[in-house]
Amino acid sequence: MALFLYFKGEFSTGSHLFSPLSPYDAELPIQTAEHGVFGSQLCQPKDLHTDFSSVDLSFLPDVTQDNKEQNLSEDGHEMQTELDGSRANNEDSGISMDESSLSHPGAAQPSPEASGVCPSLTPMTPITPATSASESSGIVPQLQNIVSTVNLACKLDLKNIALHARNAEYNPKRFSAVIMRIREPRTTALIFSSGKMVCTGAKSEEQSRLAARKYARVVQKLGFPAKFLDFKIQNMVGSCDVRFPIRLEGLVVTHQQFSSYEPELFPGLVYRMVKPRIVLLIFVSGKVVLTGAKERSEIYEAFENIYPILKGFKKPS
């Protein structure tokens, strides 16, 4: 859904990009060329100082309407250089795009309405095949917390910030950072004198980025030349409910190389999945917490992996 907004705002001339396919369709058959596919399309139209790089999903959250603001143009610059770097893949990508456009003869016409073709474009929907041999769980883990970091790229006077900003705490004896909160999106930021900042509490990647931007703006308004460099999501936490009780004792026996279960220490089984590298906390009630993800898809993938295993350990009622 967020991706849809990006297209409406930033591709007034439309692009060949998304008329034929949703990015997921493109992604599955065309693995290596994908990076170049969209990159080439983007390089062709006029100079987009918008920072849309390839459709490689991990870049998507970096594109926001805010990027048009000058003070945040650093971000755009980084993206633009990545874009240029992908130009080299033009040839291959050209070929693959032709193949895909065959299925949609009208695709060649750039049209702003092309974005209407992809109403289902959500940057982070899980890549579960619609019809798979094994049924998917039908349960979607909900994101509960996102931790991200960003570099404001200037030294900060924390006392100054604590005294003039609203909703700030600064107790250097205990912790040498300002703890600031905003109500929308409801998040907390730790701001350090080096200019680096941690933003926690957001429920989505976009919200985390938006919140970080708001904190940066607060710092900026206080007179510091804050920038917005290297925004990165460091951790994502999700949770869901399988709706049946689970035999944790059984699970820890059969999956001992991945599980640790010490009910006297902690009531949940800690399952360290290898691929994707996600840690799951599994409880007798059937509630599951997933953490350690850098991308939303890892959470979804981990849950789809664990669900059949958990079904096998359903407590007989």
Rule CB under 8 A: say whether 181 interacts with another protein. yes
Rule CB under 8 A: say whether 25 interacts with another protein. no
Rule CB under 8 A: say whether 168 interacts with another protein. yes
Nearest-angstrom CA–CA distance, 191 and 183 = 17
Stretch that binds another protein, among 174-182, 260-268, 289-297, 302-310 (CB under 8 A): 174-182
Nearest-angstrom CA–CA distance, 255 and 241 = 20
The CB-of-288 to another protein minimum distance in angstroms stands at 19
The CB-of-143 to another protein minimum distance in angstroms stands at 15
Among 15, 187, 207, 291, binds another protein (CB under 8 A): 187
Give φ, ψ of 175 to 5 degrees. Answer: -155, 130
Q: Extract the tokens encoding 77.
A: 């610059």
Rule CB under 8 A: say whether 26 interacts with another protein. no
Q: Which of 74, 209, 235, 62 is nearest to 153 (CA)?
A: 74
| DSSP-derived 3-state class of residue 128 | coil
Residue (171 or 254) nearer to another protein, CB:
171
Among 130, 131, 135, 166, binds another protein (CB under 8 A): 166
Among 131, 133, 174, 274, binds another protein (CB under 8 A): 174
Rule CB under 8 A: say whether 177 interacts with another protein. yes
Rule CB under 8 A: say whether 293 interacts with another protein. no
Nearest-angstrom CA–CA distance, 211 and 185 = 6
Among 190, 222, 281, 289, binds another protein (CB under 8 A): 190
Beta strands in 53-205 (DSSP E): 142-151, 168-171, 175-182, 187-191, 196-202
| DSSP-derived 3-state class of residue 248 | helix
Stretch that binds another protein, among 107-115, 185-193, 266-274, 284-292 (CB under 8 A): 185-193
The CB-of-4 to another protein minimum distance in angstroms stands at 29
End-to-end distance of the chain based on CA atoms, in angstroms?
40
Rule CB under 8 A: say whether 175 interacts with another protein. yes
Rule CB under 8 A: say whether 198 interacts with another protein. yes
Q: Residue 231: in which H helix or E strand, if any? A: strand 229-241
Is the sign of the CA dihedral 182, 185, 187, 192 positive or negative?
A: negative
How many residues bind to another protein according to rule CB under 8 A? Answer: 26
123 touches 2 (CB < 8 A): yes
Nearest-angstrom CA–CA distance, 28 and 136 = 18
Q: Residue 38: in which H helix or E strand, if any? A: helix 34-43
158, amino acid identity: L
89 touches 36 (CB < 8 A): yes
Rule CB under 8 A: say whether 186 interacts with another protein. yes
Residue (117 or 158) nearer to another protein, CB:
158
Residue (117 or 179) nearer to another protein, CB:
179
Site string for another protein, 123-162 (x = CB under 8 A): ------------------------x-----------x--x
The residues binding another protein (CB under 8 A) are: 147, 159, 162-163, 165-175, 177, 179, 181, 183, 186-188, 190, 198, 200-201
